[in-house]
């Protein structure tokens, strides 16, 4: 295997933690001695051992502690993200690499956390460990889009999602939209929900649809082990919403609900109200949610809610499920944005992926670079 193949393996390992590491990044680690893998690991869950520690433990498990120490000394290590150099839930990984006498570190990208950015590499260099940064850099950054946005913008990673007809409509004139997309698309949308820490809708959508805003997939469908639990996202409402018989699924038992609006309300069990004075409080609301460890949000609101996020340039990903049907000109449009002043003011997104679910087409777009 060559260097790129070892880093690709580290990336594959990192992906194993995709449903459990937020707000931490996904990290994989491969230890190589004489061009052979002697240990590998990944960050399995937030607050637990990092990838480098798990790779060292794997080496010890395979070869025994004494032989493992000899194998790791003078070995190469491949990680997709810079080893941490600060102590939070776990000791600094950079110190562990120094302790075990790693010879060379191949790192995909620096940690965007301003408290770490380059410090881990510097401490390794000072200890005589050779470091190489940038191997499969784009792939490593892409893997942790959520973490990079969190660190650089101090807000959640925001995904806007909508299902529309081929003529760009989300509902009939009377608001009926059940169902535009097919069952395959709807199952896939639950995989989207499993990626995030919170699901947001506007007050109007909550009142008209009475949605559950939950992940309705099995552990097998999510590639989870039997002992794992499915962690439901926090339910987030934009606008003043009161509990009623008409709206009861959102406030179901054991649900965590956060409501951001300009109305003052008293917090009750499981429901937190956040009041804002400004009419446009969306950006402030996002920062407050991030302070509550909600590192990623899926916005499933209607036209007004999605338009607000786009108008404020508060999104990182746009996902459109397009069904091969027509709803007609009287129906509600997916978007209702103001026209730009001129063509040079057009906002362009990057098409990241196209998938097909029976006859539905799912298109994923990225907004800007990370």
Pick out the residues of the known binding site for substrate.
177, 193, 213, 216, 300
Q: Of 44, 8, 47, 7, give the one whose Cα is nearest residue 26.
A: 44
The helix/strand/coil state of 259 is strand
Q: Active site residue: 5, 40, 45, 52, which one? A: 52
Contact 276, 261 (CB under 8 A): yes
Which ranges constitute the DSSP H helices of the chain?
Answer: 3-15, 51-63, 65-72, 93-99, 119-126, 137-143, 145-153, 183-194, 203-209, 282-291, 303-311
The distance of Cα 168 from the centroid of its chain, to the nearest Å, equals 27
Buried b (16+ CB within 10 A) or exposed e, 313-334: ebbbbbbbbbbeeebeeebbbb
Contact 239, 263 (CB under 8 A): no
Q: Of 54, 58, 62, give the one whose Cα is nearest residue 27.
A: 54
130 is catalytic: no
* CA 263/CA 273 separation, integer angstroms: 9
Q: Of 271, 264, 263, give the one whose Cα is nearest residue 247.
A: 271
Q: Of 110, 105, 169, give the one whose Cα is nearest residue 137.
A: 110
Q: Cite the beta strand spans of 118-264 per DSSP E.
A: 130-133, 157-165, 169-171, 198-202, 234-238, 257-261
* CA 347/CA 334 separation, integer angstroms: 17
Q: Which residues are catalytic?
A: 52
């Amino acid at each position: 295997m060559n260097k790129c193949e070892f880093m690709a393996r580290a990336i594959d390992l990192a992906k194993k933690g995709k449903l459990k590491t937020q707000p931490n990044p996904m990290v994989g680690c491969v230890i190589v001695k004489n061009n052979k893998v002697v240990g590998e690991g990944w960050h399995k869950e937030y607050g637990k051992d990092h990838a480098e520690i798990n790779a060292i433990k794997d080496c010890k498990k395979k070869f025994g502690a004494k032989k493992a120490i000899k194998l790791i000394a003078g070995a190469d290590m491949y990680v997709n993200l810079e080893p941490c150099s600060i102590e939070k839930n776990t000791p600094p990984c950079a110190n562990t690499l120094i302790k075990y006498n790693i010879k060379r570190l191949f790192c995909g990208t620096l940690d965007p956390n301003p408290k770490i950015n380059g410090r881990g590499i510097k401490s390794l260099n000072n200890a005589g460990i050779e470091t190489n940064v940038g191997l499969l850099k784009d792939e490593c950054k892409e893997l942790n889009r959520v973490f990079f946005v969190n660190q650089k913008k101090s807000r959640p990673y925001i995904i806007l999602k909508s299902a529309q007809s081929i003529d760009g409509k989300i509902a009939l004139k009377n608001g009926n939209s059940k169902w535009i997309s097919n069952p395959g698309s709807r199952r896939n949308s639950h995989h989207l929900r499993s990626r995030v820490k919170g699901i947001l809708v506007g007050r109007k959508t909550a009142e008209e649809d009475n949605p559950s805003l939950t992940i309705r997939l099995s552990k097998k469908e999510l590639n989870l082990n039997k002992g794992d639990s499915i962690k439901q996202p926090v339910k987030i409402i934009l606008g003043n919403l009161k509990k009623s018989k008409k709206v009861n699924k959102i406030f179901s038992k054991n649900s965590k609900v956060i409501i951001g609006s300009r109305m003052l309300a008293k917090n009750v069990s499981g429901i937190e109200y956040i009041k804002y004075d400004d009419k446009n409080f969306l950006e402030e609301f996002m920062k407050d949610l991030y302070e509550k460890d909600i590192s990623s949000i899926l916005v499933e609101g209607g036209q007004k809610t999605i338009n607000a996020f786009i108008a404020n340039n508060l999104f990182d990903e746009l996902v459109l499920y397009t069904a091969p049907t027509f709803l007609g000109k009287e129906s509600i449009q997916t978007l209702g944005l103001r026209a730009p002043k001129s063509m040079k003011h057009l906002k362009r997104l990057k098409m990241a992926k196209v998938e097909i679910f029976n006859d539905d087409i799912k298109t994923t777009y990225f907004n800007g670079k990370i």
